[in-house]
Amino acid sequence: MEQDMRRPRARLTTPRAAAVAGILFSVLLIISIVLIRLSIPDQPHDTGGWLKENGRAVTLALNLVPFAGIAFLWFIGVVRDRIGEYEDRFFATVFLGSGLLFLAMLFASAATAGGLLAFYQTVSGNQIVPDIYNYSRTISLHIVNVYAVKMAGVFMISTCTLAHRTGIFPRWMAYLGFVLALFLLLSVGFSYWAILVFPLWVLLISIHILLANLHIPKEYIPQES
């Protein structure tokens, strides 16, 4: 009897938790990406002048990444719970694996950039060491703009496939996700703003889940005795 009383509440709170986590992840990651893109020049051979001028903005952006990652982990968990017994093992494995790999790549890129900033602050006179700067910058950009972007595309494809089969969000959102995922997968070279596609898509489906959840009649919420 107690389990039966808990099930309706779980069905109501889980979608809302997914929406809140997805919105929080999207907002934090978008702020972080915009701060970094506006602070660091697009030129692959810049001399690192932004370290003096925009170092604080980049540090703030990097400090937001761990919190975005925590929200993304929560988002993955509650979406899987939302799918429940309809979860396909194959696509669920790809969904979970690509999401975790994306997060690992994002953290690795942020850690590399953070290490560069920390090293710069410890050098006497804040002198830029060209070899270390070029290596760290190239590695950080490669991780996020090549590998993390591709994992984001795979995550979107698997999520949209599961959504198409289970109906957790409208089909047009799934089709849009397929198109955007192909854009991320087929993008060649560095596209410095392409990564924004992923958090914007997560924001879209999170807002939909939140709005859909608000329309659930209140009488389905069990009263506590």
- Rounded Cα distance, 104 and 78, in Å: 19
> Considering the chain, what is the average pLDDT of its residues?
80
DSSP letter for 123, please: S
DSSP letter for 99, please: H
pLDDT tens per residue, range 77-98: 877 776 666 666 777 788 889 9
State mean pLDDT over 195-221: 76
pLDDT of residue 124: 58
Look at 21 and 125; give whichever has higher pLDDT: 21
**pLDDT for 220 beyond 50:** no
In the chain the first and final C-alpha atoms are separated, in Å, by 13
DSSP 92-144: HHHHHHHHHHHHHHHHHHHHHHHHHHHHHHHSGGG---HHHHHHHHHHHHHII
**pLDDT for 187 beyond 50:** yes
pLDDT of residue 80: 75
Residue 93 neighbours by CB distance under 10 Å: 12
Most confident of 85-89, 130-134, 142-146, 218-222: 142-146
Look at 109 and 45; give whichever has higher pLDDT: 109
Lowest-confidence region among 1-10, 17-26, 38-47: 1-10
The answer to whether the CB of 123 falls within 8 A of the CB of 129 is: yes
pLDDT of residue 46: 67
State mean pLDDT over 21-39: 92
Sequence ranges of the domains in the chain = 2-220
Cα angle vertex 160, ends 159, 164, to 5°? 120
pLDDT of residue 20: 87
pLDDT of residue 31: 95
